[in-house]
Chain A
Amino acid sequence: MNELNNYLTIDFLGKVLKGITSLFTLIYSILILKDVLDLQTFYDSAFNIVFKLMGILIVIASLFLLLTSFN
């Protein structure tokens, strides 16, 4: 019973740690995307769409990481 409790506690802590890490990654990626969108208002380039897509892709990856971290 004690071993089971220990296992469940470690499992729970692992999930919490994963959740916090994923949340941090998601917030960091959103902040960087916002920063890049700000930069794009300063200078209009043909590459704007490429950088926008790159940023959105990284945010989606971070979101996916957050959703899967609780499994």
Chain B
Amino acid sequence: MNLSNLFSKKSEFSPKFLGQNPDEQLIAVTRRGFIIELRWLLPLVIGFYFLILNSYFLDSSLSLLFNSSAISFIRVVAFIILSLIFYNRITDWFYSVNLITNQRVIDFEFSGLGIKKVVETDLRNIQSVTIESAGLLSFLFGLSTIHILTSGDNPNIDLEFISDANRIQDLISDLGRSVNKNERIK
């Protein structure tokens, strides 16, 4: 192994995602609106509040059963476990991205420990792109779901709770049209 490679710059083609082709350009990256993540973030914040800022409630209930050393141990364990849940959830949200390239649409979906789902479809297989907005959260925060319908046995893709759905829908439709046009010319 040549040690100088460790400090050298990345090669000319450095992929941004797994399975990227050399001539494939990443055009847009979207992910779920962060407001949706409040479902798990709010209970965690309440947990951290009672653990750190308002420990009287926890201490008074635990002091009936445990001594002070055990209580501090329980608090540290609870803090680490809450941090782990936060870490796991925030990384799942961050890496669950929808990638739109000049060749295909890819949906990476991660939820929980070891649960991974990757769906991709070629732009030339896209039949229609539909926006659906339903529910109070979608109405209040302008989040929509984009349904990408594909031809034949290709899997359909749903991009859920996207904040700039109209722009993404337009982008995918335009890319699909231009790819099909280029195919016809060839």
Binding site for B on A (CB under 8 A): 14, 18, 21-22, 25, 28-29, 31-32, 35-36, 38-45, 47, 51, 54-55, 58, 61-62, 65, 69
Known: A42-B17, A43-B95. A22 touches B87 (CB 8 A): no
Cβ B113 vs Cβ A51 within 8 A: no
- What distance in Å separates the Cβ of B32 from its nearest Cβ neighbour in chain A? 14
The prevalent SS among residues of A at the interface is helix
Whether B48 is near chain A, meaning CB under 8 Å from some CB there, is no
Give which listed residue, A35, A38, A39, A69, contacts B73 with CB less than 8 A: A69
Whether B137 is near chain A, meaning CB under 8 Å from some CB there, is no
Instruction: Give the bracket for the number of chain B residues in contact with chain A.
Output: 20 to 34
8 closest Cβ pairs, A-B complex = A39-B95, A36-B91, A42-B18, A43-B17, A32-B88, A44-B16, A42-B108, A25-B80
Q: How far is the CA of A29 from the CA of B99 in the complex (A)?
A: 29
- What distance in Å separates the Cβ of A46 from its nearest Cβ neighbour in chain B? 11
Can you spell out 7 A-B residue pairs with CB atoms less than 8 angstroms apart? Answer: A25-B84, A35-B88, A42-B17, A43-B108, A45-B94, A58-B80, A65-B80
Q: A42-B118, A43-B16, A61-B80 are known; give 4 further A-B pairs, CB within 8 A.
A: A38-B116, A43-B99, A45-B94, A65-B76
Known: A35-B114, A69-B73. A40 touches B95 (CB 8 A): yes
Cβ A43 vs Cβ B73 within 8 A: no
Question: What chain A residues lie within 8 Å of B95 (beta carbons)?
Answer: 36, 39-40, 42-43, 45
Whether B83 is near chain A, meaning CB under 8 Å from some CB there, is yes
Q: How far is the CA of A21 from the CA of B78 in the complex (A)?
A: 11
Q: How far is the CA of A24 from the CA of B17 in the complex (A)?
A: 33
Closest A residue to B69 by beta carbon equals A14
Closest A residue to B19 by beta carbon equals A42
Cβ B118 vs Cβ A36 within 8 A: no
Question: What chain B residues lie within 8 Å of A43 (beta carbons)?
Answer: 16-18, 95, 97, 99, 108
Cβ A29 vs Cβ B16 within 8 A: no
Q: How far is the CA of A47 from the CA of B83 in the complex (A)?
A: 18
Whether B81 is near chain A, meaning CB under 8 Å from some CB there, is yes
Closest A residue to B108 by beta carbon equals A42
Q: How far is the CA of A38 from the CA of B113 in the complex (A)?
A: 11
Mask of B110-131 contacts with A, CB within 8 angstroms, 1/0: 1001101010000000000000
Known: A21-B77, A44-B15. A55 touches B87 (CB 8 A): yes
